[in-house]
Amino acid sequence: MIYLDMAQWPRRQQFDFFRSLGCPYFSFCAEVPVQPLLDYCQRERLSAYRAITYAMLLTANELPWMRWRIRGEQVVEHPSLNAGLTALGQDGQVRFSRTPWSETFAEFDAQLEHNQREASASDTLFNQGHCNGDTDADLYLSCVPWLRFTQYNNPMPLNPVDSVPRIVWGKYGDSADGKTIPVVIQAHHALADGLHLAQFYQVLERHCQQPQSWLQ
C-alpha cells in the first residue's frame, strides 16, 4: 500500500469537493456483452458465475482508481484487491465472504467455490474474514440472478467514510450479439468520475470478449 502525493494528485480539487457532500456516492448501470465468455465456459466446463466474478476483479485490479481508498485527508493505493462476495444461505438469507486475489483463474476458482459453499452452509453473516475491519483492500461483488434491472443502489455507511466500490450484476438478457448482463458499479465520487466508471465497463467488456487470454 502506498500513499498518494496529495499535492501533486490531479484530483485534489474534486476530492475536496465531493467528500464534503452528505452522500458522495454515484453509480452507473450498463449492459455488458458476455456471450464469448459463456461459450468458453461451456466448452471448458467452467462456472460462468465464478468466471464473471474473476473478470470483474481482474478489471478492478488493472485500474488504479479502483484500488484507491480514502484515509482522512489522504488517499492510499492498494497493490491488489480481494473479492468481498455475497452468498445465499440455506435459510434464504444473505451471507458475506472474502476470497483473496490470485494471479490465476484456476486458483481463484477453487478458493471461491470452497468459500461460497462454506458461506452458504454457515449460519454466520460474515465468513472467511469478510468485513472484519482488518482491510479495505476489497471489491464488493454481488449477483442477483433472478432479476434484470436498469439501476441498483447499495447501502453505504456515511460515517466513517467507505470508499470500497460496489458491483452488482443481474439476470442474463438477449441482444443481437448474444447474452448480456446488467452491471451496476457504485463508487465514491471523490475518487472517480463518469470517465473512470466508463473505463471499467470498457476493460470488463474486453475481458468478456477475450476469455481465453485470462481463463487458460
91-116 per-position pLDDT tens digit: 999 999 999 999 999 999 999 999 99
Q: How far apart are the first and last CA of the chain?
A: 29
Confidence of residue 134 (pLDDT cuts 50, 70, 90): low
**How many angstroms separate the CA atoms of 18 and 15, rounded?**
6
**19-215 CATH choice from 3.30.559.10, 3.40.50.300, 2.40.33.10, 3.30.70.270:** 3.30.559.10
Question: In angstroms, rounded to a whole number, what is the distance separating the alpha carbons of residues 35 and 181?
Answer: 10
pLDDT per residue over 141-154, tens digit each? 999 999 999 999 99
Q: Where are the domains of the chain?
A: 19-215
Pairing of strands 94-99, 166-170: unpaired
Within 10 angstroms of residue 40's Cβ, the number of other Cβ atoms is 18
Residues 195 and 213: their CA atoms lie apart, in Å, by: 25
Three-state DSSP class for residue 105: helix
